[in-house]
Amino acid sequence: MRRKGIVHVQVDKGWLRLYWLFEGKKKYLYTSLPDSEVNRLFVEQKAKSIELDIISGNYDISLEKYRLVPLAKKKAEEPISSILRRFEKWKKPHLTTDRTLNNYRHAIKKLSEFYQKDVCLDDLKEPQLYINWLSKHLSYSTVRLHLSCLKSLYKYAEVDPNPWDKVTLKTQSKPKPRPFSKAEVVKLLEIAKTDKFYPLIRFLLTTGCRIGEVAGLKWESVDFGSSIITIKESYVRGENRLPKCNKIREIPINESLSDLLISIRPEKVKKSDRVFNFKYECFYLHWQHILEAAGIPYRKPHYLRSTFICHALEAGLTPLQVSQISGHDVQTMFNYYVNSVNKPSLPDLF
């Protein structure tokens, strides 16, 4: 059990920081120093200084007194892009891909776009206005991700209080799916039949896969002998990763799906070859033209997944069966998909 007023030296991913409790609240001071024998001695002296101030009643609640580099100097001299570079150097050894760092880079890019300059820590005015502006241009989930990145960066830069902590983001209810009706599907497939992306569209409709999962699908995951497709990889933004929620699942191959896969399988194929080779931008462009030609209101290709799920439920598959095929959890089936195609009618019970 940690005693009140005791300041502890900790190692966080190879870097030294100080930790203590003050008035029941956790306090951290990030030193930006790598763990070494010399740096530990220096940081331990800083810990004793904080302990003495707590005991004597001279504690600086702003923590300014204890910083190795005064925050005012950082504000005056270091733009947030420079802080990001230091943060990347600290974070990168602990990451397996650049996905996380790309999120931080995108967050800083949008922040600079709003302020029309490389923002310094003390340049930040009305962060709530920035988040409100960002919400008009990006999805709720992306804005939430950017806000999380900015909070982490300012915490890393030892900004206390962190201006992003008081920013609020209005929660948005997840929109109900807008699946294509059976008539729309017939019209869509009729128009798409002469398009090079017809097999891809047909596969998405037949399996309910996410587009990233289809992009990452390899022939080694297609087992014609056991009539099973294993979804174990996704390919998004140039990176291979596990499927959403890290759920590896199996999709049964029926006769029509088997015919489709056989029709597109090259004579000489390696197990490591992708089943579908396509560029997102090209596919989306063709998709838009197909919908226009079919006279169908535009919906993203992702709604092919919603279409499969809704019509599978209407065809009599249980929510559990559909969740096993699609990778959704059962509760999501009930919350967003049940009765999305055919609304229930009120029965005449008595």
Give the tens place of pLDDT for each residue, 53-75: 888 888 888 887 887 755 445 55
Look at residue 86 and give its three-state secondary structure: helix
Hey, what amino acid is at 202? R
pLDDT, residue 156, reads 85
Q: Which residue positions in the chain have pLDDT lower than 50?
A: 1-4, 71-72, 76
- Domains of the chain (ranges; CATH) run 8-68 (no CATH), 73-166 (1.10.150), 182-337 (1.10.443.10)
Q: DSSP state, 335?
A: I
User: What is d(CA 68, CA 86) in angstroms, rounded to the nearest whole number?
Assistant: 16
For 122, other C-beta atoms within 10 Å of its C-beta total: 12
Instruction: Kindly report, residue by residue over 182-239, the tens digit of the pLDDT.
Output: 999 999 999 999 999 999 999 999 999 999 999 999 999 999 999 999 999 888 877 7
pLDDT, residue 71, reads 47
In the block, which residue shows the tokens 């340049």?
Answer: 123
What percent of the chain stands above pLDDT 90?
A: 37
List % helix, strand, coil for the chain (3-state, nearest 5).
Answer: 50, 10, 35
User: What is d(CA 204, CA 66) in angstroms, rounded to the nearest whole number?
Assistant: 58
Torsion angle (degrees, nearest 10) of CA 338, 342, 344, 348: -150
What are the residues facing 19 on neighbouring strands? 8, 28
pLDDT, residue 137, reads 85
Q: What angle do CA 33, 125, 135 make, to 5 degrees?
A: 100
pLDDT, residue 209, reads 94
What are the residues facing 252 on neighbouring strands? 228
Q: DSSP state, 340?
A: S
pLDDT, residue 57, reads 87
